[in-house]
Amino acid sequence: MAKSEAWHDVGAISELAQRPLQQIAIGTTKIALVCRDGAFSAISGVCNHVAGPLGNGRLDGDYVVCPWHNWKFHCQTGLGEPGYEEDAVPTYPVKVENGRVLVNSEPQSPRTRKKHDPHPLARPVARQDGPIRVVGISTTVMDAANPRYSTSDALLEHAIEHAHAKEDAETRLIHLNDLKFRACEGYYSKSSHACTWPCSITQMDPTDELDRVYEAIVHWADVILVATPIRWGNASSLYYKMVERMNCIQNQITISNKVLMHNKVAAFIITGGQDNVQAVAGQMLGFFAELGCHLPPFPYIAHSRGWSAEDMERNIEYVSKSKELREGAADLVCRAIGVAKKLLTSTATEARTTRGGRKAHQLDVKAQI
């Protein structure tokens, strides 16, 4: 039975009926007010997922669709869409009197949550024992059916081979060109809380393959080596497509003070027929530092021949034969591995010291007793 003192006049029918769905507030209670075929109903304005504003979404038949990630709730019962009925939001009584709409702020049904299996990427980040792990990420775009020589890929492959053969590292090489993944759709621009970890797209779209990159850089690798060509003075379009999707990693620091990437070292390979190495490096250094990555001394190697160099064939020939660049790529990955080893050793020592300190303290306390 709705408490009489909890009825609130939320506005004139003539005005509220103009919109099929709107977000209103009664004090601090957020409500999604629906007007469907002239009949009003009200459900909570707070989504079960990560609290998206349901009243700012849209109607799909009888369902209110959350504007953040499309979860759906019945506009009268509050139940989730078929198959997800256990995920229900509260409903509120509504009545119409003297041309006014009245909503009772006492919910008439509770919020219930269906148990959702967490996405595999959402597991705690814990480094598994084993040798240093290096992931190489190629951001080069090319026609896979008619491949071409990529100078940045060639140096990346050399660095990865070197890490495996000379440093006994476990290695992975990811070509973004081989992955099908969506561009960032700007969930952060709706609200910082709409940009989730794992990425909203990764959670919603099982066909999106950027999970392989997230898995490698967050859960697996100690060293992240990113290679890019220079395209009109910038990194490649695939590089930007990838890093925009990595906002979800950085955003965890902003909204939850949660650093997902500990003890990771990033380094870069940048090549281009023309110029702008420093600007490309600047973006890459800045972005990966913002994720929490460490940088080795001299964190990138690069090569370009300058603005007037249009003879790409000569550039390819130069890079493919350059002992200096290959050695540079090998030295780069060695420097990064060196920093990663130091970080892991100091973390292990710190953990031992903390445990030892606690044990010594316990012994001390026991002795006093």
For ligand FES, the binding residues (CB under 6 A) are 47, 49-52, 66, 68-71
Nearer to ligand FES, 51 or 343 (CB): 51
Nearer to ligand FES, 186 or 282 (CB): 186
Strand partners, 22: 33
Question: Residue 154: exposed, middle, or buried by beta-carbon count in 10 A (0-12, 13-18, 19+)?
Answer: buried
Question: Residue 65 CB, nearest distance to ligand FES (Å)?
Answer: 8
Q: Are 330 and 166 in contact (CB under 8 A)?
A: yes
Q: φ and ψ at 171, to 5 degrees?
A: -135, 150
Question: Residue 31 CB, nearest distance to ligand FES (Å)?
Answer: 15
Residue type, 248: C
Closest CA to 302 of 350, 343, 267: 267
Question: Residue 364 CB, nearest distance to ligand FES (Å)?
Answer: 50
Nearer to ligand FES, 13 or 204 (CB): 204
Q: Are 3 and 108 in contact (CB under 8 A)?
A: no
Give me the half-sphere count of Cα atoms (radius 13 Å) on the Cβ side of residue 232: 1
Nearer to ligand FES, 7 or 71 (CB): 71
**CA pair distance 6, 15, nearest whole angstrom:** 22
Question: Residue 66 CB, nearest distance to ligand FES (Å)?
Answer: 3
Q: Which residues contact 123 (CB under 8 A, 6 or more apart)?
A: 219
Q: Are 209 and 241 in contact (CB under 8 A)?
A: no
Nearer to ligand FES, 73 or 240 (CB): 73
Q: Are 325 and 152 in contact (CB under 8 A)?
A: no
Nearer to ligand FES, 46 or 176 (CB): 46
Nearer to ligand FES, 49 or 162 (CB): 49
Count the residues in the chain.
Answer: 369
Q: Sheet of 7-12: strands edge to edge? A: 7-12, 100-104, 94-97
Question: Residue 247 CB, nearest distance to ligand FES (Å)?
Answer: 16
Question: Residue 34 CB, nearest distance to ligand FES (Å)?
Answer: 16
Question: Residue 355 CB, nearest distance to ligand FES (Å)?
Answer: 40
